[in-house]
Homo-oligomer: A and B are copies of this chain.
Amino acid sequence: MASGGMILISLLAAAQATAAPAAPRPSPSEIVAAAPAAAWRDIPPAELLVMTLANGAEVTIRLAPDWAPRHVANMRALAAAGWWDGTSVNRVQDNYVVQWGDASEAKPLPKAVAATPPAEYERPARGLSIRTLPVRDAYAPAVGHAGGWAVARTGDAAWLPHCYGMVGVGRNLAPDTGSGAELYTVIGHAPRHLDRNIAVVGRVLDGIEALSSLPRGTAALGFYDKPEQRVPIARVRLGSAVTPPPAWQYLDETSPSFAAYAEARANRRDAFFNRPSGGADICNVPVPVRRKP
């Protein structure tokens, strides 16, 4: 019989786990599913951006106003103006990013949008309450979670690392910082070398597969070669302008459930695993989110 059909089905048949070094313990997803209502925090609808592709697929993004306030203000103004409606996904580079915006680069920005906001590539760590994750990280001396975000820190500088699904602002060479009209999200191994070099403005909470499964572009850097390959965007709206407003929650990093989840991400002891890692990459400990039940 061909083996492996159940690869990573880790919740089944503990009786089969004869080689497991200890009794199976809950998996990260089981821990999250069992988290009590008190462990979840509402995300305000005005902190959500809903992008609807012409094919009907929806992508829901949480904005990061505490991390890149001027860029996020621009994005809210762009959504309010319907500026992205009729623009398109123009670039899909494998193991890197999907990028969208105005392919012509000629569409005027609304007056409320600052063309060159400050370089919001990091922020002071003071004012943040970071739950440190006790792991090594190649890019920062310390990593952890704060306010529902994975974060990295050195001294008094903190930033949002470029994990899978994070949303950043396209820009040209410095001193340009990008307006927020041209955006990308990560669809591969975290390109952390971009950290502190670009404004990170959010995270895809839902629907990223509508972007990550798009055909890769064959022009340089994964741009689509022909205009007809671009994927049209029907509209982008702030969550507070959608009826009914989208209701999402994140798992509070100060909750016992989050502590158990983070520990289990580093030390899998469900039946499939013979050898827990003892560590975890910050991008492998994403903050759990859910639709508010």
Is B101 touching A275 in the complex (CB atoms < 8 A)? no
Q: Is A135 part of the binding interface, using a Cβ–Cβ cutoff of 8 Å?
A: yes
A193 and B268 alpha carbons, distance in the complex (Å)? 7
Interface centre among A3, A178, A279 (most CB of B within 10 A): A3
Interface residues on A, range: 35 or more
Which of B174, B195, B275, B281 interacts with A190 by CB under 8 Å? B281
A62-70, A103-111, A123-131, A255-263: which lies at the interface:
A103-111
Query: How often does this chain occur in the complex, in copies?
Result: 2
Query: Chain B contacts of A99 at CB under 8 A?
Result: 4, 7
CB within 8 Å of B: which A264-293 residues: 265-266, 268, 271-284
Knowing that A16-B172, A213-B214 touch, tell me 9 more A-B residue pairs with CB under 8 angstroms.
Answer: A1-B115, A2-B109, A3-B172, A4-B172, A4-B179, A6-B173, A16-B173, A95-B165, A192-B284
Choose the segment among A33-41, A42-50, A136-144, A227-235 that binds chain B (4+ C-beta atoms closer than 8 Å).
Answer: A136-144
Q: Does A79 contact B (CB under 8 A)?
A: no
Are B173 and A281 interface neighbours, CB within 8 A? Answer: no
Instruction: Find out whether the CB atom of B281 lies under 8 angstroms from the CB atom of A2.
Output: no
- Cα A197 to Cα B277 with chains together (Å): 9
> Top 10 nearest A-B pairs by Cβ distance?
A4-B170, A4-B182, A19-B174, A7-B170, A136-B136, A16-B173, A138-B279, A209-B216, A2-B102, A164-B189
A164 touches B17 (CB 8 A): no
A152 to chain B, nearest CB (A): 11
The verdict on A82 contacting chain B, using a C-beta distance below 8 Å, is: no
Tell me which residues from 149 to 178 in chain A have a Cβ below 8 Å from any Cβ of chain B: 163-165, 169-176, 178
**CB pair B173 A17 closer than 8 Å:** yes
**A94: which of B94, B190, B208, B279 is its contact (CB, 8 Å)?**
B208
Whether B7 contacts A139 by the Cβ 8 Å rule is no
The answer for the CA separation of A198 and B3 in the assembled complex, in Å, is 13
List, in ascending order, chain B residues with CB within 8 A of A171's CB.
Answer: 3-4, 7
A247 at the interface (CB under 8 A from B): no
Nearest residue in B to A281 (C-beta to C-beta)? B138
Q: Does A23 contact B (CB under 8 A)?
A: no
Flag if A169 contacts B279 (CB, 8 Å).
Answer: no
A191 CA / B149 CA spacing, docked (Å) = 20
A268 to B18, alpha carbons, bound, how many Å?
48
Q: Does A215 contact B (CB under 8 A)?
A: yes
A224 at the interface (CB under 8 A from B): no
The answer to the question of A56 belonging to the interface, with a C-beta cut-off of 8 Å to chain B, is no
Q: Which of A7, A175, A276, A281 has the most chain B CB within a 10 Å cutoff?
A: A7
Q: How far is the CB of A32 from chain B (nearest CB, A)?
A: 16
